[in-house]
Copies of this chain bind each other. A is one copy, B any other.
Amino acid sequence: MATMNDVAKLAGVSVSTVSYALTGVRPVGDKTRARIQAAMDELGYQPNAIARSLASRRTRIIALLFPAIEHGLSGAALEFVTAAAEAAREQGYHLVLWPIGNDEVSETRDLIQQRLADGVVVMEVRLEDPRVTLLGQSTTPFTLIGRTAEPAGLDHADIDFDATVAGAIDHLVELGHRSIAFLSRSSASRDSGYGPAVRTEEAFEKYMTDRDLPVVIRHCEGTADAGRTALTELTVAHPDLTALVTMNDPATFGAMAELLDRGHRIPDDVSVLSIVSSPKVGALSHPRLTTMCAPGTELGRLGVTSLIERIEGTQAAPLHELIPCRLDVQATTGPGPFASGRLEHPQGGT
């Protein structure tokens, strides 16, 4: 494997000149540059990434911290990771995966101290997140995908849950719905301070209250069976329900199955709108599910790009970006059982 020394010898210059030719830190004469280029081509030279990192104290490696267990945004997660890796590569960086249990926070400290990464992207951030606390105490640049309870001083990009929920409610209300329930994640997830659960529920309550509509929120484990049970209980407690906002893919499918089993038509009797989901998942249901699609790709790119700017000192403004989910209207949302008039909502749908 050719080294810089070999190139320098072949080109008849010193190693430092080769380095300058490569990095552009200092000017190099045209003729010299050409000779160096020729030598590099001849030897098939590629700079050794590790040596470069050691000398420059910059590794061009970004660590992606993610809890291996519990993939909240499961569908979007792969998209997200892929987008992050691509964005990194485009800018000459590498992305290393740091699968870390939520308990093994000390590993985060090791990661930082090993100086393997120039910066860190944190996924699946919790409202109170010890990893973030740790990073905050270090000098390592980092960005959050998601956000803590108090994210003001931190670089972060997250789903705009507020706008997403508002959009979901708007869509249904425009169709004439008044009695809308929210099928959320498990209460355990909520209680542990899982941001998406907390924020969507708050937003749902706010926007429904703003409209003087009743607030019905149901927690549900992430299984189809739990979804069935939840739906049964919901319809018993609220027989006039005409629409369901969900944030729980397996439960959504379970709930829809239960609806069909009970002889309800979708969307003629009940509309279903799954938020923080993806068209890919939506495509699997029958009828095809109306979703609000999590911006995994955008968040991945944004997190990495912004982190790199931070590392390189070119960051203009701190990253405080909230991206709403995009509405993808398919076949599970419709005017509901009161289509004719659409002025008043009928009491007692189902």
Which A residues form the contact surface with B (CB < 8 A)?
A: 1, 44, 46-51, 53-54, 59, 61, 68, 71, 74, 77-78, 81-82, 85-86, 89, 94-99, 110, 113-116, 223-224, 249-250, 253-254, 256-257, 260, 280-281, 283-288
Contacts and interface: CB of A to CB of B under 8 A. Distances in A.
A285 B74 contact: no
Given A47-B114, A89-B99, 6 more contacts: A1-B115, A61-B96, A74-B280, A81-B81, A94-B98, A286-B286
Given A82-B68, A99-B86, A49 B116 contact: yes
A263 B94 CA distance: 53
A279 to B, nearest CB: 10
Contacts of A1: 113, 115
B283 A281 contact: no
Contact of A81 (B44, B97, B284): B97
26 contacts: A1-B115, A44-B113, A46-B110, A47-B114, A49-B114, A49-B115, A50-B115, A50-B116, A61-B96, A68-B82, A68-B86, A78-B81, A81-B81, A85-B99, A89-B99, A95-B96, A95-B97, A97-B97, A223-B283, A224-B283, A224-B288, A250-B280, A250-B284, A253-B284, A254-B283, A284-B285
Contact of A50 (B44, B53, B223, B287): B53
A303 B62 CA distance: 23
A68 B78 CA distance: 10
A89 to B, nearest CB: 6
B54 A50 contact: yes
Nearest to A85: B97
Given A44-B113, A50-B54, A115-B50, A283 B250 contact: yes
Contact of A78 (B77, B254, B257): B77
Nearest to A52: B114
A114 B46 contact: yes
- Across the A-B interface, the 9 shortest Cβ-Cβ residue pairs: A257-B286, A46-B113, A85-B97, A78-B78, A253-B284, A49-B114, A49-B116, A85-B99, A96-B96
Contacts of A85: 68, 97-99
Nearest to A56: B50
A148 to B, nearest CB: 24
Contacts of A283: 223-224, 250, 253-254
Contacts of A281: 284
Contacts of A110: 46
Interface centre among A48, A86, A260, A284 (most CB of B within 10 A): A284
Nearest to A110: B46
A44 B114 CA distance: 11
Contacts of A224: 283-284, 286, 288
